[in-house]
Amino acid sequence: MEQKLQYIQARAMEEMSGAGSLEDLNEVRIRYLGKKGELTGVLRGMAALSSEERPRIGQAANRVRAEIEARLEERMSQLKDSLREKKLSAETIDITLPGTVFSTGKLHPLTAVTRQIEDIFLGLGFSIAEGPEVEMDYYNFEALNLPKEHPARDMQDTFFITPEILLRTHTSPVQVRTMERTAPALPVKIIAPGKVYRRDDDATHSPMFHQIEGLVVDKRITFADLRGVLQVFAEKMFGSETRTRFRPSYFPFTEPSAEVDISCGMCGGEGCRVCSRTGWLEILGCGMVHPRVLEMSGYNSSEVTGFAFGMGVERITMLKYNLDDMRLLFDNDVRFLAQF
Ligand code: DAH
């Protein structure tokens, strides 16, 4: 019996070493340790042994079992390891393959330019104010010294919702709304970016466009302050070489009023196709706040003065990037937008 056990152990060991896969190994296990396995068979046969022999053979059988099990474990982990090795070496990575390109979004040029303008004025101590796009006739015209039959209203025809409510034609009503809120506190120093609407539609006009309004009200504000602020703005926005030129103009809400040109960045003021040979490009309207506007908004025009300006974001963007058609900014063609 003992000899038989030794023989079983030797064969089991040999077969386990010879097993080339986990499946083969499992078959070996079943053949020796399974219910009908060889070792199990020996243990069953022990009933026939004498009571002296039984414990000895029993111990020997248990030892054989333990050794087979230990070897089984060992062989199993060997086979698992080599299986993993094989998988890893089959899985090659070609590091020369091109990677996956993820395209990232970016700001629309109008948004980027608006933020740039905001940053310049925030740096000069201005804060940002906002007003509604659906505006009352009173704020859009009346309180800006444009009474009902004023001829200058014709230049800003717009979309009316009722005779008293309209889509604002400019950001200037935010001047009035701000002053009404803050009067008589000083100083007022705001810019107001936002959408505006007019009955216009061609290569340089869109029925919806963007403006940025500026307003400063304080004691002893002069036209020189206006010039200084806009010169700093022009240099920061278009480069330190940029010069400005103030031309007399007319707006009902400012007196005196001016239109501001910057020296053409393309030719440096020499005159070229971009500036129609004038050397100058118009960028905004401005002036000293009309005393009547100050009064209507709650400020005492004999004690305070102010200046205001308004610029078109599309126009600034077109000048900055030398675009010849405003509609490019609204088509949302990625081939255009990706260039910024
Ligand atoms: N609101 C004017 C427009 O849309 C622009 C403008 C001119 C604004 C002069 C101002 C200003 O604040 O002082 O045409």
pLDDT digits (tens, 9 = 90+) for 295-311: 999 999 999 999 999 99
The two tokens of residue 301 are 């025009």
Extents of the domains making up the chain: 2-90, 109-337
Burial of 249 from C-beta contacts in 10 A (0-12 / 13-18 / 19+): middle
* Closest-CA residue to 197 (of 151, 166, 174): 166
Q: Which two tokens stand for residue 269?
A: 């003021």
Which residues partner with 205 through β-bridges? 202
Q: How far is CA 276 from CA 50, 246, 263, 264, 281, in A?
A: 123, 18, 12, 10, 9
Residue 214, SS3 per DSSP: strand
Q: How much distance in Å is there from the Cα of 310 to the middle of ligand 1?
A: 4
Distance (Å) from CA 308 to ligand 1 centroid? 8
Are residues 167 and 158 in contact, defined by beta-carbon separation less than 8 angstroms?
Answer: yes
Residue 53: per-residue pLDDT? 82
Ligand 1: which residue has its CA nearest to atom 4? 170
At 337 the pLDDT is: 93
pLDDT of residue 79: 87
Ligand 1 pocket, mutate which of 195, 249, 251, 315 (most atoms under 8 A from CB): 251
Residue 69: per-residue pLDDT: 85
Question: In ligand 1, which atom is closest to the CA atom of 287?
Answer: 13
Residues with CB under 6 A from ligand 1: 170, 172, 213, 251, 254, 285-287, 308-310
DSSP H or E stretch at residue 122:
helix 109-123
- Among candidates 210, 288, 218, which has minimal Cα distance to 253? 288
Q: How confident is the model at residue 159 (pLDDT cuts 50, 70, 90)?
A: very high
pTM for the predicted model, two decimal places: 0.73
Centre of ligand 1 from the C-alpha of residue 285, in Å: 5
Structural contact between residues 88 and 153, judged by C-beta atoms closer than 8 angstroms: no
Q: Which CATH number fits domain 109-337: 3.30.56.10, 3.40.640.10, 3.30.930.10, 1.10.3720.10?
A: 3.30.930.10
Per-residue pLDDT at 211 exceeds 90:
yes
